[in-house]
Structure 1
Amino acid sequence: MTTAVLSPAGNRELLGLLGRTPLARITVDLPCPHPGFWAKLEALGVGGMKARAAVSMLLGARERGELRPGAPVVESTSGTLGVGLAFAGQALGHPIVLVGDIELEPSMRRLLRSYGVRLELVDRPAAEGGWQAARLARLRELLARLPGAYWPDQYGNPDNSAGYASLAAELATQLDHLDVLVCSVGTGGHSAGVVGPLRRHWPGLRLIGVDATGSAIFGQPARPRLMRGLGSSIHPRNVAYDAFDEVHWVGPAEAADACRRLAAGN
């Protein structure tokens, strides 16, 4: 078990590490030939892509007085937001309690615990809403037991989307022109937060959503999903449905194959 000792003041100097991630030109066939595209390498940023949203949500809650200095933060996660919240908690001085489920990969469990978070795992999905509904039920139990605890509610918190304004600004600076933006969709935060500012910059920009097979976000029936951090068995309020020009569903086999092709460079 890993224990982190946090100061209520945190270490705000860490916030200076957020963002400024590079772009890479991708030309690998995936699996068909294509003219190439730019990929924003958010995984290279401290705390991962969702650190932008995590910091935004905690700062917003502190400014409104909803989150007191040193108070615990409790959130449901399939892993990626948890990494971002771990970073935000260290920077702002908040212990982080994450509710996951037993399908969370062992490597992600170790990573989250190494960052000092408390990890709670539910052991069975809810009859309606699956793992996400089960995690949210445990989350509400924890909120009732932890004095002063704050729930960011990544699914419906507008500060989630607002946190990606910096990502949009970086893309507008790094690219001379942008015709098509492709975003994976989970909570809907980053696609909603990026497309608005970019369409003000490039009004003709098309937004393409990528969802997981088995996800209910865009009207398909919810089914068990192998991929984590993509798709949802509930309908997050942050999804900007009207902003999408197209939506495509991706299965785990083709996603894993594309990842391996990218890693191998062929």
Structure 2
Amino acid sequence: MRCARGTVVTSRSIDRSLDRPVVLAEQPYVLPPDLAAIQPEVLALDRSGPGAPSFNGLNAGLSEDLDPAGGEIRLQPVRYFDTMASTYLAGEQWRTGTPAGVSADITHHLFTADGRLVPLSKNDLSNQIGVSTVALTSDGWMLLLHQGMGSRSSPGLVAPSGSGSLEPKDIIGTTRLSEAVSTGMERELREELGLLTPAMRKIPMETTVLGFARWLDKGGKPEFYGTTRINAAMSDLDLRIHESELDYVGRHEPISPADVARLLAGERFGALGLGAPSVPLEMCLGLIVSR
């Protein structure tokens, strides 16, 4: 599927089988030798850029492809710096200080010689899981945000209400993939909308995982998309940008019920004149409309 700002690979049969058992492995992801060799240079270049050095947070990676027939799926802990030196190098060749040749190129990790995606279990990349959800309030408002310029994914674009990475803590206490993913979606949503005060944390939410894709522009990384119902009216929400999100959230963008109705009727987001949508936002809206 081609979006305005990227391309993803989808599967309707997989989307119908997301409620399956999940287990988190103890053994963390380890970079293959060719990528481990260039990781210090990758991180050094990142630190020399306009943003602050990235935090080496602990995320969750997908260790194997989702079988449309269902069955247990295995996740593994992944460090963010390992994703920077693997999945996020998609489309780039890393050269040594001399013009002699390429020292690392993830293309062979990602595609076979005939252009097929290498299975997640065999590509040796971090396969860090992305989660995105679009929130609707009880009185029909949709809450979106403009991605900050410090964000590695989709800077400056209009993004879902919550969009980030699944973390091991989202999986603790769960036995189903859909439950773990929806927990991660709601955590990202609360962080990016600033619903973190005691009063806001009491507001119940209901999240539905709608679909799955692999985002080719991001090294074929696995992505889950959903929608969240916030059981409160727009006027009852205390939206704010938390200090920890200043680099990643430019501003919030509430969408009126009238414009939400246009989107749910299938009108393209660009028609609202609010900016260009990110790939995760396009995917979430498309899946909501198709339900």
TM-score w.r.t. length of structure 1: 0.25
Which structure is higher in helix share? 1
TM-score w.r.t. length of structure 2: 0.24
Which structure is higher in strand share? 2
